[in-house]
């Protein structure tokens, strides 16, 4: 269980701080975010205060963020934590794609991985084509809700039926979190549960 967060537009710092704070219930081990400032940038932390302070200070017009509740891989090694970046695409996700070790995944998929995080599989499938990616995350043993941030500063969000994802589209900003309850407790209204397998551009 992890938390995913995404925001775009002229988002409110107080609201985002509440979303960050309320998202900690789903992720305690590590924190990270990605944004675009001429190029894709990613920062990862083991300290929540440093993470939230720096994100709110930078205040990018779009960002994706992740709170990790570790289920595999050593979370004390920041490279194993999200966001995961491959080929100028950054990913945050909640779910389980493959519980095998890095070596086992590399052998099974015939790939070379830079970390122990199975999110790398999602990015590679996403790059290979949307239908291949959708088929992959909907295999019977996989759970997924995630956001991709491209170097062109576009956010694409999608979930399968086994993981939640909530979105609120406001006049000046769009907010995304793992659950409707997180948005509700953060004083965000007009939220809805994302439709499974529908891609939302945030």
- Cβ-in-10-Å burial (0-12, 13-18, 19+) of 9 comes to middle
Question: Which phi and psi (to 5°) does residue 2 adopt?
Answer: -135, 170
Find the range with the poorest average confidence among 89-93, 99-103, 133-137, 148-152.
Answer: 99-103
* Sign of the alpha-carbon dihedral angle for 114, 97, 150, 47: negative
* Sign of the alpha-carbon dihedral angle for 189, 179, 69, 106: negative
Residue 71 has a pLDDT of 56
Assign 201 to helix, strand or coil.
strand
pLDDT tens profile 71-125: 555 666 777 788 999 999 999 999 999 999 999 999 999 999 988 889 999 999 9
Q: Which CATH architecture has domain 3-201?
A: 4-Layer Sandwich (3.60)
Ordered by start, the domain boundaries in the chain are 3-201
Residue 1 has a pLDDT of 67
Residue 70 has a pLDDT of 59
pLDDT value at 192 more than 80: yes
Q: What is the mean pLDDT of the chain?
A: 93
């Amino acid at each position: 269980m992890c938390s995913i967060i995404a925001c775009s537009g002229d988002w409110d710092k107080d609201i985002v701080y509440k979303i960050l704070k309320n998202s900690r219930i789903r992720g305690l081990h590590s924190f990270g975010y990605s944004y675009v400032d001429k190029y894709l940038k990613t920062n990862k932390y083991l300290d929540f205060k440093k993470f939230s302070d720096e994100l709110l200070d930078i205040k990018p017009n779009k960002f994706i963020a992740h709170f990790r509740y570790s289920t595999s891989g050593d979370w004390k090694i920041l490279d194993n934590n999200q966001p995961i970046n491959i080929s100028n695409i950054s990913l945050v996700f909640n779910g389980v794609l493959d519980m095998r070790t890095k070596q086992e995944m590399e052998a099974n998929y015939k790939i070379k991985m830079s970390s122990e995080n199975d999110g790398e599989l999602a990015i590679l499938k996403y790059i290979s084509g949307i239908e291949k990616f959708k088929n992959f995350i909907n295999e019977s043993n996989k759970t997924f809700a995630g956001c991709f941030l491209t170097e062109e500063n576009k956010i694409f969000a999608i979930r399968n039926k086994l993981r939640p994802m909530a979105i609120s589209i406001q006049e000046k900003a769009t907010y995304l979190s793992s659950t409707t309850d997180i948005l509700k407790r953060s004083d965000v209204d007009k939220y809805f549960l994302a439709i499974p397998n529908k891609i939302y551009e945030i």
